[in-house]
Amino acid sequence: MADPPVVAAVGSTAIASEHRGCNARDLMAEAILDCLADAGMDDLSAVEHGLASYESDHFNLQMTLGAILQDTIGLTPKPSARIEGGGATGALALRAAWAHVVSGLCDSILVYGVEKNGRGVSSRTANQLFALSADVDWEFMIGGTYTGFYAAMIRAHMAAFGTTEEQFAHVAVRNRRNAGFNPIAQKPMDITVDDVLASLPIAEPYKLLDCSLLSDGAACVLLATKDWARAHCPRFSERPPVYFSASGCGTDTMRLGDRYPQIANFRAKREAARQAYAMAGISQPLAEIDVAELYDSYSGVEIQAVEDLGFVAAGEGGPAVASGAFDLDGDLPVNTSGGLLGRGAPVGATGILQAIEVAQQLWEGVDARRQAPGARRGLTDTHAGIASISVVNIFERRD
């Protein structure tokens, strides 16, 4: 197999609840300009391929937005496609880009993701649109919502393992605190476990401060062969090379009911991790991974994730999280960016933002207050729905 691609350059906008007075193309262009500065390039003329990453035609009331974005950022007439898989969209796009480079189809590919919850989403229609991301034939009419599905899953985890609300409140506190050290974060907060426990119940046991954010934002990652990056990105050699070394992907039923009775954990995530670890040659994830961005759509999901990713055994996620093992000064800092809870989640860009955080950690280029010292290998965990699609991507610094 050919060498995996390197992360040649990255870019993003700030993440916000709403970027007013602009549309998806404007946000995308801003992220591209940030990426060009990061690469030290004047324009994208050398880049051979694009891949667009956004979740839904509904959010923008626009079909084939990928074609519009490709033109907006000046990549026509070069090849492109749109990759999608709910919340896993950005991570799936990176995975497809990996295959494009390693197969030799191109030597450089820009993965660009954006979400602008504008035209298609108002407070009136947001729940309706999110209900379309559950199974419309079977769940829509019973009023099923993802908050409810996630709540049922963590309830099962609590019942099986004694996981507590205080334990997952720790995630809600820590990730929002980490966000305070990330200049692009949407909603850094300095809160306590008691604040989380006292916040408005949404779908018990989840309360308002256990829930992640709905965000506008754009991000992009330029993947390339190392030779291409060296030849075309003037700033590439200023940083240690970071390779996108492995990718795994698992899937599961769309409906939670079809998974009964095992709903305490995510089968798709275990499968994705299994594949990625096999590809990266990892047998002891906790020891061999130095930094990780996990998909904390709800605080308890991080507890489930650290188990499904093999950082701790099943059922041990709650105590491990509450002990601080995944805090900035813990064994394996996770969600140093602030995660979906603190940095925010512009859906199609989320997986890309996770990859950016990991790459910047491996470059030792983030705010010292959130830097994982000496990190050599990082992981991103991203999923759709209740992990109907799950992706684990692994990045490695190789000096």
> Under rule CB under 8 A, which residues in 1-40 are in contact with a second copy?
1-2, 23
CB of 235 to a second copy, least distance (A): 27
Q: Is 305 in the site for a second copy (CB under 8 A)?
A: no
Task: For residue 121, give the nearest of 134, 109, 131, 111 by alpha carbon.
Answer: 131
Q: Is 82 in the site for a second copy (CB under 8 A)?
A: yes
CB of 270 to a second copy, least distance (A): 8
Q: What letter represents residue 64's amino acid?
A: T
Q: Figure out which of the listed residues 19, 38, 58, 155 binds a second copy, where binding follows CB under 8 A.
A: 58
Q: What letter represents residue 160's amino acid?
A: A
Per CB under 8 A, which region of 131-139, 287-295, 308-316, 323-331 contacts a second copy? 131-139
Q: Is 64 in the site for a second copy (CB under 8 A)?
A: yes
- CB closer to a second copy out of 84 and 290: 84
Q: Figure out which of the listed residues 117, 167, 247, 299 binds a second copy, where binding follows CB under 8 A.
A: 247
Q: Is 117 in the site for a second copy (CB under 8 A)?
A: no
Task: For residue 159, give the nearest of 341, 320, 300, 322 by alpha carbon.
Answer: 300
Task: Quote the CA–CA distance of 51 and 217 in Å, as a whole number.
Answer: 17
Per CB under 8 A, which region of 74-82, 154-162, 188-196, 322-330 contacts a second copy? 74-82
Compute CA distances 258 → 161, 203, 216, 253, whole Å: 22, 21, 32, 6
Compute CA distances 42 → 37, 46, 222, whole Å: 8, 10, 14
How, if at all, do strands 50-53 and 108-115 pair?
Answer: parallel
For residue 248 the two structure tokens come to: 């795994």
Q: Figure out which of the listed residues 10, 14, 28, 56 binds a second copy, where binding follows CB under 8 A.
A: 56
Q: Figure out which of the listed residues 145, 147, 253, 323 binds a second copy, where binding follows CB under 8 A.
A: 253
For residue 12 the two structure tokens come to: 């993003």
Q: Is 90 in the site for a second copy (CB under 8 A)?
A: no
Q: Is 66 in the site for a second copy (CB under 8 A)?
A: yes
Find where tokens 């691609």 sit: 5
Per CB under 8 A, which region of 169-177, 243-251, 325-333, 366-374 contacts a second copy? 243-251
Q: Is 248 in the site for a second copy (CB under 8 A)?
A: yes
Q: Which residues are CB-neighbours of 119 under 8 A, at least 6 positions away?
A: 59, 60, 61, 62
> Under rule CB under 8 A, which residues in 165-224 are in contact with a second copy?
none
For residue 203 the two structure tokens come to: 């779908």
Q: Is 68 in the site for a second copy (CB under 8 A)?
A: yes
- 3-state SS record for 334-369: ECCCCHHHHCCCCHHHHHHHHHHHHHHHHCCCCCCC
Compute CA distances 274 → 277, 304, 306, 392, whole Å: 5, 16, 13, 9
Q: Is 327 in the site for a second copy (CB under 8 A)?
A: no
On whether the CB atoms of residues 197 and 325 are closer than 8 A, the answer is no
Q: Figure out which of the listed residues 18, 33, 37, 105 binds a second copy, where binding follows CB under 8 A.
A: 105
Q: Is 309 in the site for a second copy (CB under 8 A)?
A: no
Site string for a second copy, 271-290 (x = CB under 8 A): xx--x---------------
Q: Is 80 in the site for a second copy (CB under 8 A)?
A: yes
- Interface positions with a second copy (CB under 8 A): 1-2, 23, 50, 55-58, 60-64, 66-68, 70-71, 75-86, 92, 95-96, 98-105, 119, 129, 132-133, 135-137, 247-254, 258, 267-268, 271-272, 275, 384-385, 388-389
